[in-house]
Amino acid sequence: METVLMKAAFKALLNSSSDMVFLKDTNLIYRAASLPFVKMTGKMHQEEIIGYTDAEIFEDQELAKRYQADDRRLMSEGKDLLDYMEPIADDNGQARYGSTSKYLLKNEEGTIIGILGVTKDITREYLAKQRYQQEFKYLFELPQDTYAVSYLDVDSWRIIKQKRQQINNGTLQQCRTVEELRQYAVDSIVDPECDAAVFYREFSADKLWAIYSSGRNHLTFAYERKMSDGSARWVQNEVHFLTEAESGHLCIMLSAKDVNDIYVAEQKILEAATLDQMTKVLNRETAMEHITRTLNQEEEKLHALFMLDVDNFKGLNDTLGHQAGDEFLINLAKELKNAMSDKGIVGRIGGDEFFLFLQNISSPEEAERKGQELLEVISLAAKPYTEVKVSGSIGISLYPDNGKDLDALYANADRALYEAKGSGKNRFVFAK
């Protein structure tokens, strides 16, 4: 009766256990197994385990040989094995780890009759501990490109440790509290609307927990930051979420790397592809792309295209030299950008020709006022060159009256420009 009761109890434990439990005889043949153990082997039913050896069950024969060698050593030494960390069968190619205890089963005479094994899946804890140890090296082996690393306990909301170093005579401020670190970051970010500024303004234990709970354990963002020496450099922040090995608290490793050279080089490549190299306004292709995009996105609005040509620019070059001509164009381009501000697009067609796009105007009268303003801009840019009479001619086309795409607007504004030149220059003319 007692034996039957024990068997029933063991079977009930096997079927309800969340751990991987197995029973082997001395020939290392499985005699019982819990459902989590069956699943770990890649099988579906306990019948696929019972009566078979590791070599017959596991596809990974190296893993099977390791299990059998461990079991034989266990029986030869005659001692239980407690909390032994070992690899277990992969889960769709992802490595897994278990904490295994194996107990020798003996009969009344003390003879070994089998092995009872219990394995807990500790993959998450094991990988978290490995990552924690790896990340923690930052505090002792600060990379050459890293200004500072701060290790923060999110749950207790305190800085556990910081390490800093200078790069190009600049570094980040040493902070005593998390709030001081947050405020210093907010104050030193050049662009208050960038992702980094938003992150630090919202920097709190609740926010970090929300990010971590969403499944993200790593954040990266780059931004321009004011350094201790007064310079502004591009910095990349990396935020790694960790579980502290002893307390179990959520922690973050926050590092700040110098990426200024990389971003400056990328900016130069971007400028070379999108900007006119001399005047630094948009080149013809990029300006046309921006204008076309605006027309497609805001086709219900009123817009104006201005074609601008400098009158007597050749005379300026011939009289004062090409260097003076280049200086005039550079200054003119700068003033044109200021005149258009955020509501317009400025591009250089080539030579002394520019085209400007004013979006979302309220009426044709607004385009007329802008045309007069642009003539004054040209006049002011030409003021230092008293030896030559320089002015500007402008042709204006309106969307949608003078064209519903850029090609039509361009052609009509170009015709209006030549009409302005033909009728005395230093004036603007609307397309008909």
Identify the CATH number of the domain in which residue 18 sits.
3.30.450.20
Residue 379: C-alpha distances to residues 125, 348, 385, 386, 390 (Å): 72, 18, 10, 11, 7
Is residue 270 included in any domain, yes or no? no
Q: Are residues 425 and 279 in the same domain?
A: yes
Q: What pLDDT does 375 receive?
A: 96
Measuring CA to CA, which residue among 199, 236, 201 is closest to residue 216?
199
DSSP secondary structure, 155-213, as one string: TTTEEEEEEE--BTTB-----SSHHHHHHHHHHHBS-TTSHHHHHHHT-SHHHHHHHHH
CATH number at residue 394: 3.30.70.270
Q: Is residue 147 part of a domain?
A: yes
Angle separating helix axes 406-422 and 284-297, nearest 10 degrees: 120
Residues 254 and 313 both lie in one domain: no
- Residue 136's pLDDT is 63
Task: Indicate whether 365 and 419 sit together in one domain.
Answer: yes
Domain count, the chain: 3
Q: Which of 93, 120, 147 is the last residue of a domain?
A: 120
CB neighbours (10 Å) of residue 334? 16
Residue where a domain stops, chosen among 54, 88, 120: 120
Q: Does some domain include residue 269?
A: no
Angle at 397 between CA 391 and CA 400, to 5 degrees: 165
Q: What is the distance between the alpha carbons of residues 168 and 166, in angstroms, rounded to a whole number? A: 7
Asked whether residue 319 falls in the same domain as residue 289, the answer is: yes
Instruction: Check whether residue 235 and residue 354 sit in a common domain.
Output: no
Structure tokens at 187: 């104050």
Clarify whether residues 283 and 390 are in a common domain.
Answer: yes
* pLDDT attached to residue 235: 92
Residue 141 sits in the same domain as residue 56: no
Distance between CA atoms of residues 63 and 318, nearest Å: 85
> Which tens digits make up the pLDDT trace of 15-60?
778 888 999 999 999 999 998 888 888 888 889 999 999 999 988 8
Tell me which long-range contacts 409-418 makes (C-beta under 8 A, separation of at least 24). Answer: 409/305, 410/305, 410/307, 410/355, 413/305, 413/306, 413/307, 413/355, 414/307, 416/307, 417/307, 417/308, 417/309, 417/393
Tell me, yes or no, whether 235 lies in a domain.
yes
Helix (H, G, I), strand (E, B) or coil at 377: helix
The residue segments making up the domain with residue 204 are 127-264
Do residue 337 and residue 365 come from a single domain? Answer: yes
In this structure, the answer to whether residues 247 and 283 fall within a common structural domain is no
Give the distance from CA 41 to its chain's centroid: 38
- Which of 94, 120, 146 finishes a domain? 120
User: What does each of the 432 residues of the chain score in pLDDT, given as a tens digit?
Assistant: 556 676 776 777 777 788 889 999 999 999 999 988 888 888 888 899 999 999 999 888 888 898 898 899 999 999 898 888 777 766 665 677 888 899 999 998 999 999 999 988 887 777 766 666 666 666 667 788 888 888 899 999 999 888 888 887 777 778 889 999 999 999 999 999 999 999 999 999 999 999 999 988 889 999 999 887 788 899 999 998 988 766 778 999 898 999 988 888 877 777 777 888 899 999 999 999 999 999 999 989 999 999 999 999 999 999 999 999 999 999 999 999 999 877 789 999 999 999 999 999 999 999 999 999 999 999 999 999 989 999 999 999 999 999 999 999 999 999 999 999 999 999 999 998
In this structure, are 218 and 299 located in the same domain? no
Say whether both 197 and 343 belong to one domain.
no
